[in-house]
Structure 1
Amino acid sequence: MERASQPYPPGADARHAPPALAQALRGLNAVIGALCRGVLYLTMSVVFVILSVNVGLRYAAGTSLSWASELPEMMFPWLIMAGVVLAAQHGSHIAVVILTQRFPEALRRWVLSFGSLIVVGMYAYLVVQAWPLMEIAHDEKTPIMQVPGSVTVWALMLGFSLLAVVVLSRLYGLWHPEHDSAGGHS
């Protein structure tokens, strides 16, 4: 009797199936990656179209869209944070590994784990510190579109939160490389 869906690839047995946590982290990383890529594609496309139309209007009609500078300014932090999260997810961030590469594997794991936990703590601290800033920025509205300033602070808070999740996911992969959900660790 065949099962409709198998939790592991055909030909593999349950002893080699990734644990539920590894599968959950892999799925979470896929969702985070898709979300960040969507934000990147959307923001870059909208900013490109707005700026192109505005430049065309300036040269063709001697006028411009009054809100054309505000929207890209509000979208830029979302673009940046999505790119930073994707870079962290793929291990493309800046890291100084010359020292840790010389450590024995066991010591290297502990040092990188300790550093990862410090980074997660710092991201959590930044999220907590951004909350009052978001409340203050909410009262400030853009001059033309009247959008609250908290929109851009939300990008920071969400980005720092996602970065903490990605670092924790990479930490799991550091200790379980056979089930790495984020593609290795620097």
Structure 2
Amino acid sequence: MTNGDAHAPAQDEKGRQRPFLPLVTGISTLLDWSGRIVAAVCLGVTFATLLVNVILRYAFGSGIAWAYEIHAILLPWMVGGGIVIAAARGRNIAITLMPDMLPQGPRRILSLAINITILVISVSVLDASGPILKAAKFQTLSTLGIKQYWGYLSLFYAFAGMSVIAVVDIIRTIAGEDLHASDYETSSLS
């Protein structure tokens, strides 16, 4: 769980440079951008398709038949993109009461425990999704003719992204970065 605008410290207490931290943090940034692109493209295509369908239906009495099925592929990808964005920015659903009350040392230990738990859960979901992906290869959308597999791949994208971000956050925490530092002025969504 990262703070999206936090920057990795350039040096540790002994003054040594840690050039790997910007590279590791860049992985989260790259995943954040991939989630933005996925969510924006899915939202745009879904909106455009539904808008054209409504216009055609009212203007000509019939619309695009596959417009009612496109959401079965695009909506899971939009949600998956949102999950990756939230995880990369540290804006996923969280209760921060305990980290806010703890001093920095115990807060780091709590951060490690949280990110290890996220990693274990994400990898477990990836492992369990194998049979679902195999079964989805046999499910076809009737009008589009597209396999449901392409929609279910969003599950893999979201949880693989969360796994990678959890590893990045573990590395950043071990390197001394305080991912739960309270900066209410810049992180408040109100």
- Using the size of structure 2 for normalisation, the TM-score is 0.80
**How far is 1:67 from its partner?**
0.4
Superposition map of 1:25-174 within 5 A: 25-174=24-173
- Structure 1 residue 59: deviation in Å? 1.0
The C-alpha deviation readout for 1:87-120, integer Å capped at 9, x for no partner, is 1111111111212322232122112211210111
> Residues 53 and 63 of structure 2 are in contact (CA less than 8 Å); yes or no, is this contact kept in structure 1?
yes
Contact 1:74 1:151 in 2 (8 A): yes
Separation of aligned partners in 1, 2:78 and 2:25:
23
Structure 2: any 5+ residue segments left out of the alignment?
A: 1-14, 182-190
Identify if the C-alpha distance between structure 1 residues 177 and 57 changes in structure 2 by more than 3 Å, giving closer, same or farther: farther
One-letter amino acid of the counterpart of residue 86, structure 1: I
Q: Percent identity?
A: 23
Asked if the contact 2:136/2:149 (under 8 Å) is kept, the reply is yes
Instruction: Tell me the CA shift for residue 177 of structure 1.
Output: 5.0
TM-score by length of 1: 0.82
2:19 maps to what in 1? 19
What is the root-mean-square deviation of aligned Cα atoms in Å? 1.8
Contact in 1 for aligned 2:107/2:180 (Cα 8 Å) = no
> What secondary structure, in the 3-state scheme, does the structure 2 residue paired with 1:67 have?
helix
State the secondary structure of the residue aligned to 2:63: coil
Structure (1 or 2) with the larger CA radius of gyration: 1
**What is the CA-CA distance between 1:170 and the residue it aligns to?**
2.1
Aligned residues between the structures: 167
